[in-house]
């Protein structure tokens, strides 16, 4: 099975540009190059395990064993479990509708939230909530989660809100940053409130409510 195939089974989809997993060592002169095969095995195995187990229940040790890879190899490229999982799930997000652009702010808002909601559906949403939770308690991983996952969504949403405010579609009293927090906060609050995947209705209603709030 290809990595592509394995990862497609996770319903996380988002258009990011398949950037290198870790910062590229700039101009390494000689020595054995990193094994792409091992990297893929690690990421694929992680994704496969995420389908069955919670982030909490996955250990670096078990990933290494299942992937047929030395523990050192994982630790060489990822400092901790959160980094690994974030990279693993960022793979499946590649086959996705591009971030919205163009059109009137209300449509853009609706489309962006639908886009985010799609990411949160099914097991994917639970995984994200689990990494989010797992990233807490350590300042670095906490920051990493936002940097690798949320920043893009926050920026898009914020820019849509600003657009709407200047175009007159949204009220000017709208506190942009806070509204972003409220909307994505509601998503996570839902995801972390009960063991079931995100309710379909919830996604629809929050979009309606968001539109009402903004105007």
Partner DNA sequence: CTTTAACCGAGACGGTACGTCGTGTCTTAAC
Partner DNA sequence: GTTAAGACACGACGTACCGTCTCGGTTAAAG
The whole-angstrom separation of Cα 170 and Cα 168 is 5
Q: How many helices (H) and strands (E) does the chain have?
A: 11, 0
- Looking at the Cβ atoms of 48 and 153, the one nearer to DNA is 48
Please give the structure tokens belonging to residue 169.
Answer: 């579609």
Residue 34 binds which one of a second copy, DNA, none, with CB within 5 to 8 A depending on kind? DNA
Give the binding range for a second copy (CB under 8 A) out of 7-15, 111-119, 159-167, 181-189.
181-189
Give the total of residues touching DNA (CB under 7 A).
Answer: 28
Residue 119 binds which one of a second copy, DNA, none, with CB within 5 to 8 A depending on kind? none
Give the binding range for DNA (CB under 7 A) out of 59-67, 151-159, 175-183, 206-214.
59-67
The whole-angstrom separation of Cα 153 and Cα 210 is 15
Residue 137 binds which one of DNA, a second copy, none, with CB within 5 to 8 A depending on kind? a second copy
136 near DNA (CB under 7 A): no
DSSP state of 10: S
- Looking at the Cβ atoms of 27 and 98, the one nearer to DNA is 27
- Looking at the Cβ atoms of 118 and 153, the one nearer to a second copy is 153
- Please, what's the b/e burial string for 63-98 (b: 16 or more CB within 10 A of its CB; e: otherwise)? bbebbebeeebbeebbebbbbbbbbbbbbbbbeeee
């Amino acid at each position: 099975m290809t990595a592509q195939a394995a990862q497609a089974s996770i319903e996380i989809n988002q258009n990011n540009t398949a950037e290198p997993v870790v910062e590229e060592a700039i101009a390494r002169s000689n020595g054995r190059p990193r094994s792409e095969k091992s990297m893929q095995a690690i990421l694929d195995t992680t994704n496969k395990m995420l389908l069955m187990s919670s982030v909490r229940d996955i250990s670096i040790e078990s990933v290494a064993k299942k992937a047929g890879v030395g523990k050192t190899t994982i630790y060489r490229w990822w400092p901790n479990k959160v980094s690994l999982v974030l990279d693993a799930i960022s793979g499946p997000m590649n086959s996705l509708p591009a971030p919205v652009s163009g059109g009137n702010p209300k449509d853009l808002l609706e489309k962006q939230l639908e886009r985010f909601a799609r990411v949160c559906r099914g097991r994917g949403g639970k995984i994200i909530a689990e990494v989010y939770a797992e990233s807490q308690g350590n300042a670095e991983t906490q920051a990493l989660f936002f940097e690798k996952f949320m920043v893009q969504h926050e920026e898009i949403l914020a820019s849509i809100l600003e657009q709407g405010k200047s175009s007159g579609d949204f009220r000017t009293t709208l506190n942009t940053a806070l509204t972003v927090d409220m909307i994505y906060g509601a998503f996570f609050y839902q995801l972390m409130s009960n063991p079931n995947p995100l309710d379909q209705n919830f996604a629809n209603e929050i979009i309606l409510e968001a539109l009402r709030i903004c105007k």
